[in-house]
Chain A
Amino acid sequence: MVIPLRYSLRNLRTRRLTTILTSGGMALVVFVFAAVQMLDTGLRQTLVATGQPDNILVTRRAAGTEISSAIDRAQAAIIELQPEIASGLDTRRLASKEAVVLITLPKRETGVATNVTTRGIGPAGTALRPQLHIVAGRMFRFGTSEIIVGQSIAHRFNGAGVGQYMRFGGREWTVVGIFAAGGSAFDSEVWGDAEQLMQAFRRQTYSSVVARLTEAGALDALAQRLENDPRLTLDVKREREFYEEQSRLMSNFISYLGLTLSVIFSIGAMIGAMITMYAAVANRVGEIGTLRALGFRRAAVLWAFLFEAILLGAVGGIVGIALASLMQLVQISTLNWQSFSELAFSFTLTPRIVLSSFAFALLMGVIGGFLPAVRAARLSIIDALRAI
């Protein structure tokens, strides 16, 4: 009892310009919807990829970021000796006492002075981050003013190539290697020896301690002990969780703004669909009357026109998603509001985003096409036939 789908399909093909313009508008909305989600996903993935599931990160209590955290040597030593901390093959503890500071470097393209996270690590620092590989040059030697830089830093900043020098903390540091860290936040960092960095910046305190647990479940016992000890003022978190929280402010802003924009823009696109479908109904009043006379029910007429609108949405959805997927070629680098330093991430497309964007497109079609379809269904047969 359904009017064949090809009736709706062919009608879209016949009015080519109108179909292109209407679904074009919807495509732009879907593009924004998808791109914003891709940006948010890219941001969170970058930060989450920074954390290893078995690693913990200890900071001073209530310090949201490593930058604002300070752990003195005594406390750091206590952390290192905890039984839940794993030992490496060389029987040394898999714990890295790290000092994190911000330096400013001029961006290559714009020359804008930008905050860059500089991390002084302990000897176990690289072992704790298996996602990290040296892709050019070599690892720095502890006890020297050698540093290595993340890929993103090498691309975006001057003076960050192998063999070049950077000046901060009153010293010159030699870049001896470039590393890739699996698209995580570390790609936007500069690494060196923690003790050397602390000397240069005249710090007595570390920022954080990163360590590997003997097993994932050991976290609770460790956290309890450390947080309840009155001598210590520490927060123990899983590394992943810590970095996830780092993204929260920006992630919320991006998703909130993005969703609001998509909804507002979709009003424009849905109005476009509504105008198009009202015109379609008005132009085909005679056909509607004929279909009803032949015996098709009101519901069948409604579905035929609603389906046409949904198809418009589908076309818009496909084009919009295709456009958005092109954004995967783009890398964004901006200030992460929580860590207050440079972070590079890209647009990441996931199946979930494809599905939700397509559903959004179809929904626009349904909402835009509903009232016109109802109008088509409510026509009386004789009025419709008389219109010819």
Chain B
Amino acid sequence: MHLIKLIFRNTLRHKLRTGLTMVGLVVAILSFGLLQTVVDAWYAGAEGAAPDRLITRNAVSLMVPLPLHYREKIRSVDGVKAVAAANWFAGVYQDPKNFFPQFAVEPAYFSMFPEYRIPDAQFRAFFRDRQGALVGRKLAQTYGFRVGDVVPLKGTIFPGTWTFVVRGIYDGADAKTDTSQFFFHWDYLNETVKARTPALANRIGIFIVQIADVDRAAEVSEEVDALFRNSPAETLTETEKAFQIGFVRQTEAILIAVRIVSFLVIFIILAVMANTMAMTARERRGEYATLKTLGFGGGFLAALIFGESLAIAVIGSLVGVALTFPVAEWFASEMGTLFPVFEVSRETVMLQGACALAVGTAAALFPARRAIRVRIVDGLRAIG
């Protein structure tokens, strides 16, 4: 059809200009996609939460421990299937920069996290070795840990040097699972602490509580907290998702800033595209006037301009979206364990497309309006 052919021919007329505009669009769509993915990655922890898991912590603060004997009491609450203790370890591996999560956990922990896939033989080896450690695939890849490796950690909360032996590497059930974590035995932690700094012994960081009925999560949480109300260590029990979101929400300001900045880049490219279309339309004023004398109406001219603008936007965004995936993978590997889950979501891709269409449309608005309005006389004067 004439219109489409004209649009494409026009796009190719000024190869350098079109090419540059498209490169700009690719860069913008790509950056936009990456930034949105960075924000999503932050919330990823909450995405990976299971509805049948609750977290019980000290009501005052996550930093304040709970007594060990709470475990049996929680276990006895109606609706609770299993309870496992976990302590945040915060050790340093070689350099404080090498951050990854470390937890001292009871073996029951792993039955609550079926998304961590561990080969039976490795799990048994871990179970048998007091100093054994289970590490996630991502963590193993980042630091080159292999089964049998000795990993020393310098304790900060629990002072001293701690040595562990990697007994197994776990994989995640899907891309959303965090495989950047380092697990070891809670018993080993407690025994060692009893020997080194007895005052810090028998303290739990959090309890993971697995419940039988997902719909009773709120009830069970309330019952657990009721057990310890008015005691020296009151508890706060919430779903795992609420717990994860709690962290994220505290850095909300940064996340909002990143989202705003991601839209800024769209405005930058909008300025570039609007400029391109305005210049192009201005240069073709004579042609538009000629087309009008031939009988083509304002609607045709508008279609030409919108068509060209959208053609550039669509092609540029397709390339941008396609590139987002490999670049995101590269970015994730560079970031190591800082972003354990880094996935480009479907929403992000749709947003990228929507932004491209918006830019393509907005950039053509003023030039199209002017072209429709050009008086044949003025336009023809522009020639020669």
Contacts and interface: CB of A to CB of B under 8 A. Distances in A.
Do A and B touch directly, given a CB cutoff of 8 Å in the complex?
yes
Interface of A: 17-18, 21-22, 24-25, 28-29, 31-32, 39, 60-64, 67-68, 70, 101-104, 110, 112-115, 168-170, 201-202, 204-205, 233, 257, 261, 264-265, 267-269, 271-272, 274-276, 278-279, 283, 332-335, 337, 340, 342
Contacts of A60: 159
B90 A275 contact: no
Given A63-B156, A268-B27, A271-B21, A21 B278 contact: yes
Interface of B: 16-17, 20-21, 23-24, 27-28, 31, 35, 60-64, 90, 92, 96, 154-157, 159, 199-200, 232, 234, 246-247, 249-254, 257-258, 261, 264-265, 267-269, 271-272, 274-276, 278-279, 283
Most buried by B among A28, A63, A275, A342: A275
A334 B278 contact: no
A342 B247 CA distance: 11
A39 B246 CA distance: 24
Given A101-B63, A102-B63, A271 B24 contact: yes
A112 B60 contact: no
A202 B233 CA distance: 10
Contact of B17 (A22, A275, A335): A275
A201 B267 CA distance: 52
A337 to B, nearest CB: 8
A364 to B, nearest CB: 11
14 contacts: A18-B278, A22-B272, A39-B257, A62-B156, A102-B61, A102-B62, A115-B61, A202-B232, A257-B258, A269-B268, A271-B21, A275-B21, A278-B20, A335-B251
Given A265-B264, A275-B275, A115 B60 contact: no
A17 B62 contact: no
B162 to A, nearest CB: 12
A334 B253 contact: yes
Contact of B250 (A29, A63, A112, A268): A112
A18 B199 contact: no
B246 A25 contact: no
Contact of B31 (A110, A205, A261): A261
A24 B159 contact: no
Contact of B24 (A62, A110, A267): A267
A268 B272 contact: yes
Contacts of B21: 271, 275
Contact of B275 (A113, A261, A272): A272
Contacts of B265: 264-265, 268
Contacts of A68: 90, 156-157
Given A21-B274, A275-B20, A276-B275, 19 more contacts: A17-B278, A18-B275, A22-B271, A22-B275, A62-B154, A64-B156, A67-B63, A104-B61, A112-B246, A170-B234, A233-B159, A264-B27, A268-B24, A268-B265, A268-B269, A268-B272, A276-B279, A283-B283, A334-B254
A28 B200 CA distance: 53
Contacts of A31: 264
A212 to B, nearest CB: 27
Chain A binding surface SS class: mixed
A347 to B, nearest CB: 11
Contacts of B279: 18, 275-276, 279
Contact of B271 (A63, A64, A112, A272): A272
A115 B267 CA distance: 36
A272 B336 CA distance: 34
Contacts of A276: 275, 279
A272 B272 contact: yes
Nearest to B255: A334
Contacts of A28: 264, 267-268, 271
Ranked nearest first, the 5 interchain pairs of A and B with the lowest CB-CB distance are: A272-B272, A271-B24, A335-B250, A25-B271, A21-B275
A132 B343 CA distance: 46
A168 B275 contact: no
A274 B60 contact: no
B330 to A, nearest CB: 13
A264 B27 CA distance: 7
B90 A32 contact: no
Given A28-B264, A261-B31, A265-B265, A201 B60 contact: yes
Contacts of A333: 253
B64 to A, nearest CB: 7
Contacts of B90: 68
Contacts of A271: 20-21, 23-24, 27, 272
A264 B31 contact: yes
Contacts of A61: 159
Nearest to B246: A113
Nearest to B269: A268
Given A24-B271, A269-B268, A114 B250 contact: yes
Contacts of A67: 63
A201 B203 CA distance: 14
Nearest to B331: A260
Contacts of B257: 39, 332
Contacts of B199: 204-205
Contacts of B155: 62
B333 to A, nearest CB: 16
Contact of A265 (B31, B62, B154, B250): B31
A101 B258 CA distance: 30
Contacts of A267: 24, 27
B262 to A, nearest CB: 9
A334 B62 CA distance: 17
B268 A25 contact: yes
Contacts of B200: 70
A24 B272 CA distance: 9
Contacts of A110: 249, 252
Contacts of B23: 271
A22 B272 CA distance: 7
A137 to B, nearest CB: 25
Contacts of A275: 17, 20-21, 272, 275-276, 279
A25 B272 contact: yes
